[in-house]
Amino acid sequence: MDRSTQLTVRPAACETAYDPPASGMSLHIRAAQVLDANWTGGSTVPSRSLYPHQWSWDSAFIAIGLRHVSPLRAQTELETLLAAQWADGRVPHIVFNPSVPLDAYFPSPDFWRSSSAGRAAGAPRTVQTSGIVQPPAHALAAWLVHRADPGLSRARGFLARMYPRLAAWHRYLLHRRDLGGAGLASVVHPWEQGMDNSPCWDAPLARIAPAPARSFRRADLAHGAAEDRPTDLDYGRYVRLAADYRDSGYRDGGHRGGTGGKGGAGGGEFAVEDPSFNALLIASEHALARIAEELGASGTARHERAERLTAALAERLWDPAAGMFLCRDLRGGGLIRERGVSGLIPLLLPGLPHGIAAELVRTLRGPHFSLGDRTRLVPSYDLLGEAFDPHRYWRGPAWFNTSWLLERGLRVHGERERADALRAAVLHLAETTGFAEYVDPHTGEGCGATGFGWTAALALDLHHELHKDLLKGAREGVTEAATGTFDRNDEGGDRA
């Protein structure tokens, strides 16, 4: 490994939840140590024990944090992921490390059989991957990584190499995955949306006949408590969906305007338009426009596409009665009446109508999520929902990546004090839980793995932004004292 990509701290063992911070050691150093310990030489694993390969949206979030300690390594993170892109444009949700034993994670490469089952879709032959995707946060990550060190980025041709791959990725989603015909991308498996066992998936998954329990062995239970993980029934349905999609040659439901049908994606049994997946696609489309402009091309068409997608999101998935966005089940018909954190993530979008943005903030603070009152981080599911469970994965616990996205969303829409409070909560809980995978939304107790990649990375990003804001405030205070003026309008370049 090129020593220039190494961090300037030594790896440290991950602390258990609620260990006090090491004396004299800043959050910046401790978070960097987690990322260093999880680095494999070309990418960063989410967790050495639980998730020992490269995950797609994890790498996007990890790159956003890595840019503050090693912009070169942040660039490498995204380059490694996109080197495994399929010829049809899809970015697989897992890139497998061949040095990891097959039984360390399920589903393993021999389940996905990407190089054979995915041959018609253009799966790479030299690396093994899964055949499904994850939320498209990559162009946003690439833009932020570029901004961290534009000189290095330009010298390496980072954006020039990333742009065609990112454009192909968006093209895949906007055409191959427009299964509803209204412009929004659909997911064909709960793992694609990233919130695996959210109650939002219960109704669509109920139609799926689970694979027999004896047909697979769950490796996750060797590293995580069963009461914190998806159930065996959930896993049986996940396996069935993935196997059907694999056996179809990873064939999607057609181009724009296609209905999916029985021969479509995932056998046509599961196809959902999800608000957070599409919000990240829109945010990344705006970022891709900025990348195009940096490369000397026009970004106008991409900005306009992002605005059209924002309008489609509001038309298709906004529910005034719920005060938030809901998922749309393309096979069961209509909106899914469950309040998941996914329905709040569109707050990230600058083009969201003011009335919708204001209602999302009210819902975020109201009884269903209770941010700033009963919870400090945003729960993954409705506190008042029948399926709420404060410890079981995406059925209630608060995750750091969704709170990071909502912190940005609050700032985008002028909610600075609430964004500051959420940032402070993320930093405190990330550090005091040893950078836990997720937390109990009421108590802040750490759950899942510790030393978790995106928790460390996004805490590092918010820590950097906090110090930038403090320095900015100090400078403005001096200016105000000297001139009597105080400019409150500049939120800083990385907020774009």
Q: Tokens standing for 100?
A: 């990891």
Question: CB atoms < 10 A from the CB of 322, how many?
Answer: 17
| Residue 335 DSSP code | B
Three-state SS letters, 387-426: CCCCCCCCCCCEEHHHHHHHHHHHHHCCCHHHHHHHHHHH
| Residue 309 and residue 278 in contact, taking contact as beta carbons nearer than 8 Å | yes
Beta bridge partners of 187: 272
| Residue 181 and residue 268 in contact, taking contact as beta carbons nearer than 8 Å | no
Question: CB atoms < 10 A from the CB of 429, how many?
Answer: 23
CA distance 35 to 33: 5
Output the CA torsion sign for 149, 152, 158, 159.
positive
Question: Does the annotation count 247 as an active-site position?
Answer: no
Beta bridge partners of 439: 398, 446
Buried b (16+ CB within 10 A) or exposed e, 152-180: ebeebebbeebbebbbbbbebbbbbbbbb
CA distance 401 to 121: 31
Helix (H, G, I), strand (E, B) or coil at 450: coil
Which amino acid, 484?
G
| Residue 312 and residue 351 in contact, taking contact as beta carbons nearer than 8 Å | no
Output the CA torsion sign for 72, 77, 79, 83.
positive
| CA-derived radius of gyration, the chain | 21
| Residue 260 and residue 254 in contact, taking contact as beta carbons nearer than 8 Å | yes
Beta bridge partners of 54: 95
Catalytic residue (choose from 77, 88, 196, 244)? 196
The position carrying tokens 């719920």 is: 322
Catalytic residue (choose from 437, 440, 461, 465)? 437
| Residue 270 and residue 327 in contact, taking contact as beta carbons nearer than 8 Å | no
CA distance 290 to 144: 10
Integer CA distances (angstroms), 213 to 238, 241, 338, 383, in order? 12, 14, 28, 31
Question: Does the annotation count 196 as an active-site position?
Answer: yes
Strand pairing report for 272-273 and 186-187: antiparallel
Helix (H, G, I), strand (E, B) or coil at 230: coil
Active site residues: 196, 437
